[in-house]
């Protein structure tokens, strides 16, 4: 009896997966449309703005000019990002 317990428990799951009603399983783009007027937040408003990713993530080590002279960069010997190569 215990050998039949797992197959009998899985039988309804298997039969429901084989249903002929495909409309309940098919995806359409209209199901996930977003409103056209959704506000879009900008991550950075440009160089030098308070939301600038370089200013918040890189400038503490590389400095505002990218020369490696930031307050944390002096002790870490970071690269000079102001030169091309």
| pLDDT < 50 stretches in the chain | 44
The confidence score (pLDDT) of residue 46 equals 58
In a domain, 54, yes or no: yes
The confidence score (pLDDT) of residue 3 equals 84
The confidence score (pLDDT) of residue 79 equals 83
Q: Domain range for residue 75? A: 47-85
In a domain, 34, yes or no: no
In a domain, 38, yes or no: no
The confidence score (pLDDT) of residue 42 equals 57
Residue 63 exposed, middle or buried by CB count within 10 Å (0-12, 13-18, 19+):
buried
The confidence score (pLDDT) of residue 22 equals 59
Q: Give the count of domains, the chain.
A: 1
pTM of the full structure: 0.39
In a domain, 74, yes or no: yes
In a domain, 9, yes or no: no
In a domain, 62, yes or no: yes
Please, what is the Cα angle at 11 between 7 and 12, to 5 degrees?
145
In a domain, 69, yes or no: yes
């Amino acid at each position: 009896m215990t050998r039949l317990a797992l197959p009998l428990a899985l039988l309804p799951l298997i039969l429901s997966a084989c249903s002929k009603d495909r409309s309940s399983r098919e995806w359409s783009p209209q199901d996930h449309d977003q409103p056209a007027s959704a506000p879009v937040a900008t991550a950075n408003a440009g160089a030098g703005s308070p939301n600038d990713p370089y200013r918040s993530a890189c400038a503490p080590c590389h400095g505002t000019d990218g020369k490696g002279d930031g307050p944390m960069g002096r002790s870490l010997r970071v690269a000079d990002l102001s030169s091309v190569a």
